[in-house]
Amino acid sequence: MFLRQKGEEILAPLSGKVISISDVNSPIFSGKVVGDGVAIFPTDNVALAPISGVVSFVGAQKHTYGITAYDGTEVLIHLGIGTVSLDGEGFESLVKAGEQITAGTPICKVDFDLIKSKQLDITCPVVITSSSIDKVKRLTITLGEAIAGKTACMRYVNK
Protein backbone atom coordinates (compact mmCIF):
# COMPACT_ATOMS: atom_id res chain seq x y z
CA MET A 1 0.00 0.00 0.00
CA PHE A 2 1.37 3.43 -0.98
CA LEU A 3 1.12 6.17 1.63
CA ARG A 4 1.78 9.72 0.50
CA GLN A 5 4.21 11.50 2.82
CA LYS A 6 2.96 14.99 3.51
CA GLY A 7 5.82 15.92 5.77
CA GLU A 8 6.10 18.03 8.88
CA GLU A 9 4.58 21.51 8.69
CA ILE A 10 6.51 24.68 9.39
CA LEU A 11 3.96 27.43 9.97
CA ALA A 12 4.48 31.03 8.95
CA PRO A 13 5.76 32.83 12.06
CA LEU A 14 4.41 36.15 10.74
CA SER A 15 1.45 37.11 8.58
CA GLY A 16 2.46 38.54 5.24
CA LYS A 17 3.86 37.60 1.85
CA VAL A 18 6.04 34.47 1.71
CA ILE A 19 8.85 34.78 -0.85
CA SER A 20 11.67 32.53 -1.99
CA ILE A 21 14.81 32.63 0.18
CA SER A 22 16.80 33.27 -3.02
CA ASP A 23 14.97 36.63 -3.36
CA VAL A 24 16.24 37.95 0.00
CA ASN A 25 18.57 40.96 -0.24
CA SER A 26 21.32 39.25 1.78
CA PRO A 27 23.87 36.88 0.26
CA ILE A 28 24.07 34.90 3.50
CA PHE A 29 20.37 34.03 3.24
CA SER A 30 19.85 34.06 -0.55
CA GLY A 31 22.95 31.87 -0.93
CA LYS A 32 21.51 29.41 1.62
CA VAL A 33 24.64 29.71 3.80
CA VAL A 34 22.51 29.70 6.98
CA GLY A 35 20.03 27.12 5.68
CA ASP A 36 17.16 26.64 3.25
CA GLY A 37 13.62 27.94 3.50
CA VAL A 38 11.59 31.06 2.79
CA ALA A 39 11.31 34.68 3.85
CA ILE A 40 8.27 36.69 4.87
CA PHE A 41 7.54 40.34 4.20
CA PRO A 42 5.52 40.87 7.41
CA THR A 43 2.22 42.69 7.88
CA ASP A 44 1.99 42.20 11.66
CA ASN A 45 4.24 42.79 14.67
CA VAL A 46 4.21 39.53 16.65
CA ALA A 47 6.35 36.56 15.60
CA LEU A 48 4.97 33.12 16.49
CA ALA A 49 6.74 29.78 16.85
CA PRO A 50 6.62 28.03 13.45
CA ILE A 51 6.99 24.56 15.03
CA SER A 52 6.56 22.84 18.37
CA GLY A 53 9.76 22.04 20.22
CA VAL A 54 12.40 23.68 22.37
CA VAL A 55 13.74 27.23 22.01
CA SER A 56 17.37 26.38 21.19
CA PHE A 57 18.56 29.99 21.23
CA VAL A 58 17.51 33.61 21.47
CA GLY A 59 19.99 36.00 19.87
CA ALA A 60 21.60 38.53 22.23
CA GLN A 61 19.98 41.34 20.19
CA LYS A 62 16.58 39.54 20.32
CA HIS A 63 16.23 39.52 16.51
CA THR A 64 17.01 35.81 15.98
CA TYR A 65 15.32 32.72 17.37
CA GLY A 66 16.12 29.05 16.94
CA ILE A 67 13.55 26.39 17.69
CA THR A 68 14.41 22.70 17.56
CA ALA A 69 11.52 20.40 16.73
CA TYR A 70 11.15 17.16 18.66
CA ASP A 71 12.57 15.30 15.62
CA GLY A 72 15.79 17.35 15.91
CA THR A 73 15.13 19.74 13.00
CA GLU A 74 16.15 23.31 13.87
CA VAL A 75 14.30 26.30 12.41
CA LEU A 76 15.79 29.80 12.51
CA ILE A 77 13.61 32.92 12.47
CA HIS A 78 15.59 36.07 11.63
CA LEU A 79 13.53 39.24 12.18
CA GLY A 80 14.65 41.71 9.52
CA ILE A 81 17.92 42.09 7.61
CA GLY A 82 20.70 44.10 9.24
CA THR A 83 18.69 44.36 12.46
CA VAL A 84 21.62 43.15 14.58
CA SER A 85 22.76 46.80 14.39
CA LEU A 86 19.74 47.84 16.50
CA ASP A 87 21.25 46.02 19.50
CA GLY A 88 17.81 44.83 20.67
CA GLU A 89 15.97 48.12 20.14
CA GLY A 90 12.49 47.41 18.76
CA PHE A 91 12.42 43.76 19.90
CA GLU A 92 10.65 42.35 22.95
CA SER A 93 11.49 38.68 23.46
CA LEU A 94 8.62 36.61 24.87
CA VAL A 95 10.55 33.32 25.31
CA LYS A 96 13.82 32.07 26.80
CA ALA A 97 16.31 29.47 25.56
CA GLY A 98 15.42 26.02 26.87
CA GLU A 99 11.69 26.72 27.00
CA GLN A 100 9.33 24.14 25.47
CA ILE A 101 6.78 25.75 23.17
CA THR A 102 4.04 24.75 20.76
CA ALA A 103 3.58 25.99 17.21
CA GLY A 104 1.75 29.32 17.27
CA THR A 105 3.16 30.49 20.63
CA PRO A 106 4.16 34.19 20.50
CA ILE A 107 7.98 34.44 20.66
CA CYS A 108 8.71 38.12 19.99
CA LYS A 109 7.04 41.51 19.56
CA VAL A 110 8.72 43.54 16.81
CA ASP A 111 8.50 47.25 16.00
CA PHE A 112 8.73 47.01 12.22
CA ASP A 113 7.96 50.74 11.90
CA LEU A 114 11.12 51.47 13.90
CA ILE A 115 13.12 49.07 11.70
CA LYS A 116 11.83 50.81 8.55
CA SER A 117 12.59 54.25 10.07
CA LYS A 118 16.25 53.13 10.40
CA GLN A 119 16.26 52.25 6.66
CA LEU A 120 16.61 48.54 7.42
CA ASP A 121 14.92 45.69 5.54
CA ILE A 122 11.94 44.15 7.39
CA THR A 123 12.09 40.89 5.38
CA CYS A 124 12.22 37.93 7.79
CA PRO A 125 14.00 34.74 6.69
CA VAL A 126 12.65 31.47 8.10
CA VAL A 127 15.02 28.59 7.39
CA ILE A 128 15.81 25.04 8.35
CA THR A 129 19.37 25.59 9.60
CA SER A 130 22.38 24.32 7.67
CA SER A 131 23.10 21.82 10.48
CA SER A 132 19.61 20.28 10.04
CA ILE A 133 19.04 20.59 6.28
CA ASP A 134 21.33 17.61 5.54
CA LYS A 135 18.77 15.36 7.28
CA VAL A 136 15.93 16.60 5.04
CA LYS A 137 15.00 14.37 2.12
CA ARG A 138 12.37 16.71 0.68
CA LEU A 139 11.51 20.36 1.37
CA THR A 140 8.32 21.80 -0.09
CA ILE A 141 7.89 25.59 -0.14
CA THR A 142 4.55 27.43 -0.32
CA LEU A 143 4.78 31.04 -1.57
CA GLY A 144 2.14 33.78 -1.38
CA GLU A 145 0.05 35.27 1.40
CA ALA A 146 0.25 33.57 4.79
CA ILE A 147 -1.44 33.91 8.17
CA ALA A 148 0.85 33.59 11.19
CA GLY A 149 0.43 30.33 13.07
CA LYS A 150 -2.11 29.02 10.53
CA THR A 151 -0.54 28.78 7.06
CA ALA A 152 2.21 26.22 6.40
CA CYS A 153 4.98 28.02 4.49
CA MET A 154 7.12 24.85 4.32
CA ARG A 155 6.85 21.11 4.75
CA TYR A 156 9.75 18.74 5.15
CA VAL A 157 10.35 15.01 5.14
CA ASN A 158 13.47 13.74 6.89
CA LYS A 159 15.66 10.99 5.44
pLDDT tens profile 62-71: 999 999 999 9
| Residue 78 bears catalytic tag | yes
Burial class (CB in 10 A: 0-12, 13-18, 19+), 111: middle
CATH number (domain holding residue 75): 2.70.70.10
In a domain, 13, yes or no: yes
3-class state of residue 36 by DSSP: strand
Domain count for the chain: 1
What is the mean predicted confidence (pLDDT) over 35-51?
97
Let me know: does 80 contact 121? Beta carbons within 8 Å. Answer: yes
Domain that holds residue 150: 8-158
Spot the catalytic one: 34, 42, 77, 78.
Answer: 78
In a domain, 97, yes or no: yes
In a domain, 2, yes or no: no
In a domain, 1, yes or no: no
Task: Give the model's pLDDT for residue 2.
Answer: 44
